[in-house]
Structure 1
Amino acid sequence: MSNGETKTDVILIGAGIMSATLGTILKELAPDWNITVFEKLGKAGEESSNEWNNAGTGHAALCELNYTPEKDDGSIDIAKAVKINEQFQVSKQFWSYLVKKNLIENPGEFIQPLPHMSLVHGEDNVNYLKKRFEALSENPLFEGMEFSDDPDKLKEWIPLIMKDRTSNEPIAATRIESGTDVNFGALTRKLFEHLEKQKVEINYRHHVEDIKRTENGAWEVKVHDMEGGKIEYITAKFVFIGAGGGSLHLLQKSGIPEGKGIGGFPVSGLFLVCNNPEVVEEHFAKVYGKAKVGAPPMSVPHLDTRFIDNKKTLLFGPFAGFSPKFLKTGSMLDLFTSVKIHNVFNMIAAGAKNFALTKYLIEQLMLSKEQRMEELREFIPTAKSEDWDIVVAGQRVQIISDNGALKFGTEVISARDGSIAALLGASPGASTAVSIMLEVIEKCFPQYVNEWEPKIKEMVPSYGMSLTANPELAQEIETDAVATLGLKDARTLQEA
């Protein structure tokens, strides 16, 4: 960038999966627009999008039990699960479009087929899982899901988990082969490589320090060139804040009314990673259990096969922790500097309402490695401490809404005139990035949506439609995604 003030059409703050997705969509819809990206770190996908900083699950609600709560009458509410599944189908359609157009290559480097399973213990939980299975099986998006409480069948599905299991406690699982493991770090890097070819200006080691509205309604961004030491200013008609945990501070600096009253609560994570190749080879699935009382949804225990750097590995976790940082590379003052007059009472209220979460985080912080191993042994009875190492995962900032409620989803906060938008929150996050960015486009560029709709439907054939209500289209889209993204039968992959 040059000294002084520069103008562009769009500014993207943060080089993670969200900015990568929005930038890629906009370049397809408006190829003549100038887009400028600012990233504090030295390359793309190094914070929340990095493969070691998230679970790598293609969240489609196939195995995540927190998306299917049990109602007071005992029935299962599958509405959220269906919504998340539909959103993930949108992501797969867009990725397939990019591959078919040769805009990105080698999809196997970022997505792999992998069975998704839910595993529960105890009679009540087994009954819940069976009801969940029956409810989801009626929806075409969950076609192929299986349920079993037969120990012999479970030994076929999850031999490592069932090996030397001596408890007589009832146990059951569901299994569906259409699940995926997604390396969002690799995908983010591929998208930014594509954007560079599209003449998008990407500025690494540039820290956005301030955002202000100009007299003509544009936004002026103050940027610190961390290598050159210069302060630079750039103006744009539209700004997207996709800086992970850093988004809250920048949203506050923008001063838009829609950001008033919102706070953030950081939660960190740890994983146990298996260092024994023989153990790694005994497991092939993502297996999700039930969260403990008071635990945030991001702390649902799961044992995951992962594909990172073209290598199969095995992770268990996450274990929750606490750090006042909003980013893994952030400041210990992040939480304290986010407290403002307009949100302090909401944050206090959130603390009072979530005592169980506070208690849970304290307990998690005090766990030794051996205590973490004991939790792993609920999944793998034969687990040995020497086979597992601890890895620090990413930071997530949970949203505290303007009524003091702690929210665990992903939310877009945008100005009324659509000139600026920020993404806050955590899971399912990256898996639903395409749906979320299409939402940003609808909110922030309503004057162009009719003009852009044919192109959007080319990229996402189901745009504006319910796949649940159109099972033939759902099957057609799934078949295309399997072929284009290389998602062959998971059992074939396992045997390869």
Structure 2
Amino acid sequence: MTEEFDAVLIGGGVMSATLGMLLSELEPGWRIAVVERLDEAGLESSSAWNNAGTGHAGLCEFNYTPRRPDGSVDVSRAVEIGEQFSASLLFWAHLAAAGVLGSPRDFVRSVPHSGFGRGPDGVAHLRGRYEGLRGHPLFADQEFSDDPAVLRDWLPLMFDGRNAGEEVAVTRSARGTDVGFGVLTRRLLAALRSRGGTVALGHEVRAMRRSGSGWTLDVRVRTTGEDSRLRAPNVFVGAGGGTLPLLQRAGVPEVRRYGAFPISGQFLRTARADLVAAHRAKVYGHADPGAPTISVPHLDHRTVDGREHLVFGPFAAFSPRFLRTGRRSDLLRSVRPGNVGVLAASARDNRSLMAYLVRQVAQTSRARTTALRTFVPTVDPGDWELVTAGQRVQVLKMTGARRGAMVGFGTELVSSAGGSLTALLGASPGASTAVATMVDVLAAGFPGRMAGWSARLAEIAGNRSDLADLTARTHMARRVLGLGPDGEGRS
């Protein structure tokens, strides 16, 4: 038998959970299903230990503010991400005020965000970043300092015992956050279920095909092998690393020339109480000369399941799987006649990145400790353990006539069959900008309904074209979430 829905969302991560709740706000009478292959939601990229938990708002990340050839800094991407994160805060606050998310402290806390510049070039980049952002209201609280006494006060773990002759500087924003995206995902899906939505855990979509003006999905219960069939006029695929293989099997023409390359991440982690107490911040540095932007190091305060940790990384590793729970054959199975040229061009045009990945895979524990020492001069290797974080799949595509590009940051929105099928590929800033990204998905998947939905979307997720209103409402949302200037919600 075939079960009918108005929308089926594939993947039980924060993206599908966000889209499901947005649809439930816009169309309360719709039948919405979320299908997840694992026995619990939010266990892949949304899981606490499979991402850094940073509420990416452009407050500290060098890779979102590149230097131009003349030395000036382009801050436009950081501003865009800051505005997108505001949309997430507004939507979470709306749901929290309605009493459907439980205590916000369970999934979001205030943790200052800092940028860390080292050496003349790093300090100049950081200063240019600060000057470019300080006039924007979402970045108005940023501070800049190169005074050793101030830096020791802000970040004692990083600046006690540091060489006095080293040229360093730091920016600091108290508006930063640490987000438990796994907890948030499960709260969103529980709220969707309470509104009549279907959340099918342990169900794997085996095949997907056009059916009239919509789509038919063949689904299997993983524990029993029982098969079922779903049909909907609109389908969204937000299955992380599982998205591209599913689209390929469905013969979606828009991804015929896409390739994919999996990258696993590792972090050094400690729960030693005195170290955690001396570093209550997320601090992002800059990539070393010649290193790719995906190598940006950061030292983060994390709270997971009520316990505080510090994590440092990332260190790249390699696995041919597209998901942590995927198959070793995932990479090989993704190679198709239509994307061989893209794969070859990407290997040719990203040689420095490939060389970096090879060095990272061969890296010794001593080399990882040396990298950590640039942030923590007094590091004792015995206090830290190496942990494997989530699996990311970088999208490979052609840009221009011949160049193969690796889409390392941002998300790739795919729309097919007149918008009846939408899908999301890519990673950072990912979960932080889920609400704004899902509004884009709504526009691609339901173009005829957006005019009727626009007022409601502005009410629950803000209007980026009205900066004054967005700023004021963001401030109110932070207070609802316990992230106000009075210090509530601090780790």
Q: Among residues 106, 110, 129, which one is paired with 2:126 in the alignment? A: 129
C-alpha change, 1:219 and 1:416, in structure 2 (3 Å) is closer
Contact in 1 for aligned 2:435/2:461 (Cα 8 Å): no
Partner of 1:204: 201
Query: Residues 126, 410 of structure 1: CA spacing in aligned structure 2 closer, same or farther, 3 A cutoff?
Result: same
Q: 1:291 aligns with which of 287, 305, 315?
A: 287
Question: Which amino acid is the alignment partner of residue 4 of structure 2?
Answer: K
* TM alignment of 1:22-61, pairs within 5 A: 22-61=19-58
- Distance in 2, Cα, partners of 1:283 & 1:493: 16
Map 1:329-478; keep pairs closer than 5 Å.
329-403=325-399, 404-408=404-408, 409-462=410-463, 465-467=464-466, 470=467, 472-478=468-474
CA distance in 2, matches of 1:205, 1:150: 54
Q: Distance in 2 between matches of 1:194 and 1:466?
A: 29
User: TM-score, normalized by length of structure 2?
Assistant: 0.96
Q: How do 1:152-167 and structure 2 match up within 5 A?
A: 152-166=149-163
Name the amino acid aligned to 2:112. P
Tell me how far apart the structure 2 counterparts of residues 73 and 161 of structure 1 sit (CA, whole Å): 31
| Contact preservation (8 Å) 2:215, 2:234 | yes
1:252 to 242, 248, 253: 248
Provide the C-alpha distance between the structure 1 equivalents of 2:264 and 2:222, rounded to a whole number of angstroms.
26
1:344-399: CA deviation from partner (whole Å, max 9, x where unpaired): 10011001111111111111111222321111111001111111111110011111
Tell me how far apart the structure 1 counterparts of residues 175 and 55 of structure 2 sit (CA, whole Å). 10
Q: Does 1:101 align with 2:98?
A: yes
Kept in 1, the 8 Å contact 2:13–2:238? The answer is yes
Closer, same or farther in 2 for the Cα pair 1:295/1:322, shift >3 Å? farther
Kept in 1: contact 2:482–2:488 (CA 8 A): no
- Cα distance in 2, alignment partners of residues 219 and 200 from structure 1: 19
Aligned match for 2:63, one of 49, 56, 66: 66
Partner amino acid, structure 2, of 1:37: V
Which position in structure 2 is the counterpart of 1:218? 214
Q: CA deviation at 1:492?
A: 6.6
Q: 1:227 aligns with which of 216, 223, 230?
A: 223
* Equivalent-residue separation in structure 1 for 2:292 and 2:249 (angstroms): 28
Within 2, Cα distance between the matches of 1:493 and 1:7? 42
Regions of 4+ moved over 6 Å: none
DSSP-derived class of the 2:48 partner: coil
Task: Find the aligned partners of 1:146 and 1:369 in 2 and give their Cα distance.
Answer: 35
Name 1:120's counterpart in structure 2.
117
Local SS of the residue matching 1:52? helix
Unaligned runs of 5+ residues in structure 1 are none
2:297 is aligned to: 301
What amino acid is the match of 1:170? E
What is the match of residue 14 of structure 1?
Answer: 11
The alpha-carbon deviation at position 461 of structure 1 amounts to 3.0
Count residues in correspondence.
486
| SS class of match (1:75) | coil
Check whether the contact 2:93–2:478 (CA below 8 A) recurs between aligned residues. no
Residues 302-331 of structure 1 show CA distances to partners (whole Å, capped at 9, x for unaligned) of: 000111112221111111111111101111
Contact kept? 2:394, 2:406, Cα under 8 Å: yes
Q: Which amino acid aligns with 1:245?
A: G
Deviation at 1:91, TM superposition (A): 0.7
CA deviation after TM superposition for structure 1 residue 491, in Å: 5.8
Distance 1:295 1:188, change over 3 A: farther
Q: For residues 426-468 of structure 1, what are the alpha-carbon distances to aligned partners after superposition, in whole Å with 9 as ceiling and x for unaligned?
A: 1000000001100011111111112222221221232xx335x
1:223 and 1:231 in contact (8 A); partners too: yes
1:185-225 CA-partner distances (Å, limit 9, x unpaired): 110010011111112111111111111112x1221111121
Change (3 A) 1:273 1:19: same
Amino acid at match of 1:166: N
Q: Are residues 320 and 443 of structure 1, via their aligned partners in 2, closer, same or farther at CA, if it must alter by over 3 Å?
A: same
Residue 308 (structure 2) pairs with residue 312 (structure 1)? yes
Contact 1:53–1:393, Cα closer than 8 Å, also in 2: yes
Give the distance between the partners of 1:153 and 1:22, measured in 2 at CA.
43
Quote the offset at 1:291 in angstroms. Answer: 1.8
Q: What are the superposed Cα offsets for residues 106-164 of structure 1, whole Å, 9 maximum, x if unpaired? A: 01111111110010111122122111111111222210111111111111111100111
For structure 2, list consecutive stretches of 5 or more residues without a partner in the other structure. Answer: none
* Paired amino acid for 1:301: P
Mapped contact 2:261–2:393 kept (Cα < 8 A)? yes
Contact 1:103 1:194 in 2 (8 A): yes
Once the 2 structures are TM-superposed, how far is the Cα of residue 256 of structure 1 from its aligned partner? 2.4
Verify the 8 A CA contact 1:113 1:490 in the aligned structure 2: no
Aligned counterparts of 2:355 and 2:230: Cα–Cα separation in 1: 45
Give the deviation of 1:490 after TM superposition.
7.7
Could you tell me whether the CA contact under 8 Å between 1:350 and 1:406 is conserved in 2?
yes
**2 CA distance for matches of 1:281 and 1:169?**
24
- Distance between the aligned counterparts of 1:369 and 1:146, measured in 2? 35
* Separation in structure 2 between the aligned mates of residue 161 and residue 466 of structure 1, nearest angstrom: 39
Contact 1:57 1:182 in 2 (8 A): yes
1:285-312 deviation digits (Å, cap 9, x = unpaired): 0000012355454431100011111222
SS of 2:205's equivalent in the other structure is: strand
Which of 462, 483, 490 is matched with 2:479 structurally? 483
- Alignment partner, residue 141 of structure 1: 138
User: Cα deviation per residue 1:390-413 (whole Å; 9 max; x = unaligned)?
Assistant: 111001111112442111221110
Q: Is the 8 A contact 1:177 1:490 kept in 2?
A: no
Q: Is the 8 A contact 1:293 1:356 kept in 2?
A: no
Of all paired residues, the percent bearing the same amino acid is: 44
Q: Which moved more, 1:158-167 or 1:296-305?
A: 296-305
Classify the secondary structure of the residue corresponding to 2:261. Answer: strand
Quick one: which amino acid aligns to residue 307 of structure 1? T
